[in-house]
Amino acid sequence: MKHLLDINNLTAEEINQIYTRASEFEKGIRKSNHLNAHVATMFFENSTRTKMSFEMAINKLNANKYDFCADTSSLNKGEDLYDTINNLCAIGINAIVMRHSDNNLIKELASKKYYQDISFINAGSGTNSHPTQALLDFYTIKKHFLTLSNITLTIVGDIAHSRVAMSNIALLKKFNVKIRCLAPENLIGEKIEGVEYHTNLKEAFNEADIIMALRIQKERIQEHIDIESYIKNYQITKDNLPYAAFLMHPGPINKNIEIASDVLEMQNARTILHQAKNGVFVRMAILDMLLSAQGL
Ligand code: NCD
């Protein structure tokens, strides 16, 4: 493995290897020292969990961390991103963790011949891919349910603009999870083969083992969204959440929009902070694999 760009580049076996390695980090039975590795984080979109857990992972691996801040960088003096990365390469950066609003940019960067010594890790690209989130969700689900066969998972919210939904669907399909998507017609997006689509909450929640809620990604939506009607028909409440369902959310949560705030006090919702915690181990596993492959 040279880069981590997209779930579609990983086999089920590689996903299980990442799971095992993350679990060893969590149990403290694997320790890694990457004292000669230099990892830069480049976030061009807002982030709390993803950025902080990548930083924590870099620190726990004893690698060196460099936070590239776009606002104070020479990008503001007119330098382009390609030259910027060329210079990071020259300085000695070995891996770049990048979040960007462009769906394809990170793949283009990773395919450039002159960056061949650098590993790129996708920390969220546009609306299409967020592989480390899907891997940490997989870790959280597998750790709890042990096996993924016979699981029914309902993703509810703004599926159309969610890279989290795209990557989770790509990953969970590989493990034969029964996936349902629930959203109003205008937030369903392009339909994916093998996924059930619903506009009715009752049907979509019926006998679901996991409910994964998503935020309405206002920053990516031009047209008017009727929030009142969304709340009325799709908000997760104490009344409609299946009794034993595992409630997941990648964060950030817009309380009282996608989930009623009292639901967050319920046992079912404890998973949400477990997802954040597990993100550190999963990101440690990914960085450890990529840095080791570079001999660092
Ligand atoms: C998500 C993202 O950035 O795609 N957040 C995250 O990484 N945990 C989801 C979102 O912003 O709604």
Question: In DSSP terms, which residues pair with 68 in a beta bridge?
Answer: 42
CA distance 135 to 206: 26
- pLDDT digit string (tens) for 279-288? 999 999 999 9
Which atom, in ligand 1's list, is nearest to the CA of 45? 3
* Helical axes 12-27 vs 163-174, angle rounded to 10°: 100
CA distance 197 to 155: 10
Which atom, in ligand 1's list, is nearest to the CA of 46? 3
User: How buried is 77 (Cβ within 10 angstroms: 0-12 exposed, 13-18 middle, 19+ buried)?
Assistant: exposed
Beta strand pairing call for 95-100 and 152-156: unpaired
User: How buried is 100 (Cβ within 10 angstroms: 0-12 exposed, 13-18 middle, 19+ buried)?
Assistant: buried
How much distance in Å is there from the Cα of 105 to the middle of ligand 1? 18
How much distance in Å is there from the Cα of 200 to the middle of ligand 1? 24
CA distance 250 to 267: 17
Structure tokens at 134: 């899907």
Ligand 1 binding residues, C-beta < 6 A: 49-50, 124, 130, 133, 163-164, 215, 217, 250-251
CA distance 226 to 218: 11
CA-nearest residue, atom 11 of ligand 1: 252
List the alpha helices (DSSP H) in 28-145: 49-60, 81-91, 105-111, 131-145
- pLDDT digit string (tens) for 154-169? 999 999 999 999 999 9
CA distance 153 to 205: 9
* Helical axes 131-145 vs 163-174, angle rounded to 10°: 50
Provide the pLDDT for residue 116. Answer: 80
Q: Which residue has the tokens 């010594």?
A: 117
Delineate the domains of the chain, giving CATH numbers in brackets: 7-130+279-293 (3.40.50.1370), 133-275 (3.40.50.1370)
How much distance in Å is there from the Cα of 224 to the middle of ligand 1? 21
Q: Is the pLDDT of residue 225 over 90?
A: no
Q: What is the mean pLDDT of residues 38-63?
A: 98
| pLDDT band (50, 70, 90) for residue 221 | confident
Which atom, in ligand 1's list, is nearest to the CA of 215? 12
Mean pLDDT, the chain, whole residue set: 96
Which atom, in ligand 1's list, is nearest to the CA of 50? 7
- pLDDT digit string (tens) for 3-37? 999 999 999 999 999 999 999 999 999 999 999 99
70, 77, 85, 126 from 80: Cα distances, Å:
11, 9, 9, 19
